[in-house]
Structure 1
Amino acid sequence: MNTPVGLGPDSVQVEARLLAAGDLLAATLLVTGYPAEVGPGWLEPLLGYPGRLDVSLHIEPVPPAVAADRLRRQRARLESSRRAGAGRGRLDDPETEAAAQDAAELAWRVARGEGRLFRVGLYLTVHAADRAQLAEELSAVRAIAESMLLRCEPATWRAVQGWTSCLPFGVDRLDAKRTFDTAALAACFPFSSPDLPGGEPSQVGPVLLGLNSTGDGLVLWDRFAQENHNSVTLARSGAGKSYLAKLEALRLLYRGVQVLVIDPEDEYARLADAVGGTTVRLGAEGVRINPFDLAPEDEGDRLTHRALFLHGFVSVLLGGPLDAADRAVLDSAILAAYRAAGITADPRTHTRPAPLLADLARSLAETSDPAGPRLAQRLAPYVSGSHRQLFDGPSTQATGGHLTVFSLRAVPEELKGAATMLTLDAAWRAVTDARERRPRLVVIDEAWLLMREEQGARFLYRMAKSVRKRWAGLSVITQDAADLLATDLGRAVVANSATQVLLQQAPQAIGAVAESFGLSAGEAGFLLAAGQGQALLCAGPGRRAAFGCVASPAEHRLVSSDPREAQ
């Protein structure tokens, strides 16, 4: 014989203003008065209450025809009251005047279809173990509500109706509703952090970063709604920066954003495999990216742009900047290599196969200037020597699709800087592809590999300045805050990032980080004591939020780098 399982308390004892449901007492407060203006996440003080408090929000849409009729009658009553007072010689009532202006503005918005009206009921049920504790909890909740300019009344003789209205049944037994418009109702939902007031969302929309560390609210952030779409993430090793970056990339994929990742440690491969992305494993047998490939951009001289990039790329390969004579010879050799491949400034020739690094070395060796053969000799390891595997053929893999990961784990350490610059250029060519307009994000993990090379740092800076015009964002992630903040180019990259995320910092670096980001003593202390996944989001003066990164079990399996959890 099966014993029935109870779905509720074994007994309910009802009194005038409270009821006993099992071992707990419960009392309900009705919110009958609201402040004139509210901001996003304004219910956070109630939602973050440390005791057991059920907050129930009941919403009933008002049909547009009924809303228009009610607003018309409300405006008529207010205008009648104003005229009656004026006829008796009374001064204007500020509250009546404000209500009349609000009603008129709301009526116009409803008429234009920019908003709707809703009947909203907000109820608070407080639970406690005994009467004394219940009285204390009720007093504390009412104090918080009054500080928010909310007027609360007890549900006298309706304790059962109040209790059931706050249960997850979607039934409003109290029916104590007030009329809200769309903007006011949207501000009631706890789907944005009150610490991060923002403007209109972008076409992409916000993504969840985590739970607010100072309450129970959610921290959602729309990087594409900021003045630029770039971000910089700084943290010590093991603090969870790559975990957060992978989680944001995964959630942006849901939003239709194309993501390109430069991954030094092959951490994003599991994510790419799970979502059907493309992984380009540089250093593996037969995998190459030709630095001479022309970008698919429509404006400007593509050949000149490619020649300028090759100047910087060859400088990185050769271990330092070239002098004026070497640059002149190199420039002539680059153009000669393209001419030998049949590619000129004429756009009709740009579809022909691009030359290779070996063609450049051949052009250098054939020049009459002594600097040419010398440069060709210095390029020999990358043309015919032990480092030729990256450059001894045309590009083997395209960068299309919703997620492309450039894995650099198999690249020799001596080539990491050049390979990072090469893959960053491949990502830039995808960003500048005018054949398809869509939001894009370029993620550079362990960016210090690029910042240690002057040409790489300059390329990264130019990209940070330009990606916004292409509806793209640049996400720079590094564990070496000192290297990023110690150079003018590094500080410029930070300055051009509207989204700045700081995770746990080392004591040796906290001084430079606090000075660069204008952290208070409390914020600096938070970063020193932060656990794994805890972060501080900085988005300008007065716009900061501390949060803890959260992921579902399925997301966690895809983004975790813990070798014990690798499958």
Structure 2
Amino acid sequence: MSRHSLSRPRDDSASRPPGRAGAFTPDAIAVDSRALEVGGEWVSTFAVVGYPREVHPGWLQPLLTYPGRVDVSLHVEPVDPVTAAARLKKQLARFESGRRHSSERGQLLDPQVEAATEDAYDLSARVARGEGKLYRLGLYLTVHAPTQETLADEVAAVRSLAASMLLDAKPTTYRSLQGWVTCLPIGLDLVGLRRTFDTAALSAAFPFTSPDLPPPDPTSVGAPTGVLYGFNIGSQGLVHHDRFALDNHNSVILGRSGAGKSYLVKLELLRSLYRGIEVHVIDPEDEYARLATAVGGTQIHLGAQHVQLNPLDLPIHTRPDGRRTAPRDALIRRSLFLHTVIAVLLGNDPTAVQRAALDQAITATYQRAGITSDPRTWTRPAPLLADLAHTLSHAADAAAVELAARLHPYTQGAFSTLFAGPTTTRPEGHLVVHSLRDLADELKPIGTLLTLDAVWRQVSNPAIRRRRVVVVDEAWLLMKQRQGAEFLFRMAKAGRKHWAGLTVATQDTADVLGSDLGKAVVANAATQILLRQASQATDEITRTFTLSQGERQFLLSADRGQGLLSTGTQRVAFQAIASPTEHHLVTSDPAELATYASGEAEPGDSFVELDAA
């Protein structure tokens, strides 16, 4: 075995490369025919020269999850279409010539040649139609070990793993230094052992899918859809998930305060905007303001001056041609919705007598405004909540008078500002944030309900169909009242029919799972994310989600941003990860925000820990 070494003085600081690169440059490199001694460890590099005929998405995942240290390097070089067509034509000519020669001599055809010929014809047709391109791919593996003896065992294990994947890995004999440099993250391929791949095979080589969350169609060669949630804690692969590919598009995120719940919601929201998905957010604490400003979104501050919502507005849809339409039973639906509004305002369900009096008053109030069962009258200005209270107060029924008295704070008292006039806001745009911070605590449940109602009018508009996500942060504000929880449940069930997904996020996990309606909302979410949980709620979560003992302990000890993503039968433990720019837009850590405000840090600076949202 030949051996020579390259070294530099350890103590001569002048000989070190300038800058930070010197800290990562080894003091000495000893070169053998098939291995290198780099610093204090041994490495050996292999080039993959044989590949399986068919591959599936994420097929390199076993190499990336190998328990030892293995560097996997991919070098990709695109081939221009003219050169690709010429090479495929020559290859097909060789195959056909070989087949004819064998046929003329009466020899049996080689099955491998037949398969290669069929693949070449198929690839040539797809390249000619522009359905794919050709690339030259080099795949190299570098195995690390502390000693030369251990390196031999690691090399045998990695080559066995590669063989099980139908990969033929050959050592870079007498080119060990070039092989090691090829696997460094500097973009140099000094070995040059390449293989031609098409677009589908190349895209499947990248670990953009998690083995724990298989794609809905494993045979699809299209680009992966969905958003990046983070990396797989167990395998270090990427967790890439598309909620719109499941049976329903709803998502529920449960986590204790400080677990990174809002951080994850904002990350998913931002990455959904990249895909052209329209997003509506109900923000109780004005946490989404910086994000909305950065992406040009619309912000509506409920409780601010001149911002009003009229719960008696009829659901009138505006078509692209300007015509205004409404469902045939729009007036009846609005009357029933007003029963929910009054129940949320009063904090409890009206009695049967009060409901009868309220129903009569609603009909009389609309009639006084000139709105009847005739759809032609539905475009007239709708009455206000004060008009309904006036009708109740002048009724002969004592139950109606009592309802009017209980509505007084919302029509003429301290909480009347939100309902004092016609609706002044129309939620339109790619991102609409409804902030509830300026609302009194007594008005936040009704503010959430009316905002959801306004959003639902857009979602259910048959003239405009697009993917939408509706985010309800701290959903327990509405779900703590039965009528509000029922409305949220109906929205969760009907959203799929209108290509919309509901995201419910709350830190009051025990309260949500402690009610039947709360469990129903969770059950109607195909995507369920559990972040770090309080010990008091762990038993209920374990029963509801059928967690194993290991998953239970993981949720108790998870760091910020870590959680379980479940899509029914599939679960994966992940760590949320954001780029520095995304982190700046979604963080709500007061220390970091103060640093940004003082100018000590720039928005592009990275932070080690995730936000404690």
* TM-score (norm. length: structure 1): 0.88
3-state SS of the aligned residue for 1:427?
Answer: helix
Letter in 1 for 2:575: G
Asked if residue 268 in structure 1 is aligned to residue 288 in structure 2, the reply is yes
Letter in 1 for 2:501: G
Q: How does 1:527-542 map to 2 (within 5 A)?
A: 527-541=555-569
* Pairing partner for 2:521 from 493, 497, 508: 493
Residue pair 1:295, 1:433 contacting (<8 A) in 2 also: no
CA distance in 2 between partners of 1:82 and 1:299 (Å): 73
Residue pair 1:71, 1:107 contacting (<8 A) in 2 also: no
CA distance in 2 between partners of 1:307 and 1:386 (Å): 25
Match of 2:169 in 1: 152
* Pairing partner for 1:123 from 130, 140, 147: 140
3-state SS of the aligned residue for 1:516?
Answer: helix
Match of 1:46 in 2: 63
Match of 2:589 in 1: 562
CA distance in 2 between partners of 1:376 and 1:35 (Å): 76
Moved more, 213-222 or 516-525: 516-525
* Pairing partner for 2:497 from 453, 469, 485: 469
* Pairing partner for 1:239 from 235, 242, 259: 259
Asked if residue 307 in structure 1 is aligned to residue 327 in structure 2, the reply is no
* Pairing partner for 1:226 from 219, 241, 246: 246
3-state SS of the aligned residue for 1:397?
Answer: coil
Match of 2:508 in 1: 480
How far 1:286 sits from its partner (Å)? Answer: 3.9
Letter in 1 for 2:490: R
CA distance in 2 between partners of 1:82 and 1:508 (Å): 76
Asked if residue 56 in structure 1 is aligned to residue 73 in structure 2, the reply is yes
CA distance in 2 between partners of 1:12 and 1:77 (Å): 50
Match of 1:372 in 2: 400
3-state SS of the aligned residue for 2:400?
Answer: helix
Residue pair 1:262, 1:420 contacting (<8 A) in 2 also: yes
CA distance in 2 between partners of 1:438 and 1:472 (Å): 8
Alignment RMSD, CA only?
A: 3.2
Asked if residue 27 in structure 1 is aligned to residue 44 in structure 2, the reply is yes
Task: Rate the CA distance shift 1:536–1:80 in 2: closer, same or farther, 3 A.
Answer: farther
Match of 2:576 in 1: 549
How far 1:508 sits from its partner (Å)? Answer: 3.0
CA distance in 2 between partners of 1:369 and 1:126 (Å): 86
Moved more, 31-40 or 475-484: 31-40
* Pairing partner for 1:518 from 518, 527, 546: 546
CA distance in 1 between partners of 2:223 and 2:384 (Å): 40
How far 1:471 sits from its partner (Å)? Answer: 2.3
Q: How does 1:375-386 map to 2 (within 5 A)?
A: 375-386=403-414
CA distance in 2 between partners of 1:196 and 1:39 (Å): 14
Asked if residue 333 in structure 1 is aligned to residue 361 in structure 2, the reply is yes
CA distance in 2 between partners of 1:57 and 1:203 (Å): 19
3-state SS of the aligned residue for 1:508?
Answer: helix
CA distance in 2 between partners of 1:259 and 1:503 (Å): 23
3-state SS of the aligned residue for 1:187?
Answer: helix
Task: Rate the CA distance shift 1:72–1:344 in 2: closer, same or farther, 3 A.
Answer: farther
CA distance in 2 between partners of 1:93 and 1:133 (Å): 42
How far 1:410 sits from its partner (Å)? Answer: 3.4
* TM-score (norm. length: structure 2): 0.82
Moved more, 545-554 or 201-210: 201-210
| CA deviation profile, 1:486-517 (whole Å, cap 9, x unmatched) | 33332332222121111112333223322322
| CA deviation profile, 1:349-392 (whole Å, cap 9, x unmatched) | 44443221001112223444444333222222211122222212
Residue pair 2:92, 2:117 contacting (<8 A) in 1 also: no
Q: How does 1:125-524 map to 2 (within 5 A)?
A: 125-128=142-145, 130-199=147-216, 205-297=225-317, 298=325, 300-301=327-328, 302-434=330-462, 436-524=464-552
How far 1:104 sits from its partner (Å)? Answer: 5.9
CA distance in 2 between partners of 1:164 and 1:455 (Å): 65
3-state SS of the aligned residue for 1:331?
Answer: helix
| CA deviation profile, 1:7-42 (whole Å, cap 9, x unmatched) | 666765543223455665432101123344433222
Residue pair 2:28, 2:38 contacting (<8 A) in 1 also: yes
Structure 2, unpaired ranges of 5+: 1-13, 318-324, 595-613
CA distance in 2 between partners of 1:509 and 1:473 (Å): 26
Task: Rate the CA distance shift 1:182–1:540 in 2: closer, same or farther, 3 A.
Answer: farther
Residue pair 1:58, 1:122 contacting (<8 A) in 2 also: yes
How far 1:475 sits from its partner (Å)? Answer: 0.2
Structure 1, unpaired ranges of 5+: none
3-state SS of the aligned residue for 2:205?
Answer: coil
Letter in 1 for 2:170: E
Task: Rate the CA distance shift 1:174–1:4 in 2: closer, same or farther, 3 A.
Answer: closer
3-state SS of the aligned residue for 2:583?
Answer: helix
Query: Sequence identity of aligned pairs in percent?
Result: 55
Moved more, 3-12 or 428-437: 3-12
How far 1:68 sits from its partner (Å)? Answer: 4.5
Letter in 1 for 2:17: V
| CA deviation profile, 1:244-265 (whole Å, cap 9, x unmatched) | 1112112222333222111223
Moved more, 323-332 or 94-103: 94-103
Moved more, 372-381 or 231-240: 372-381
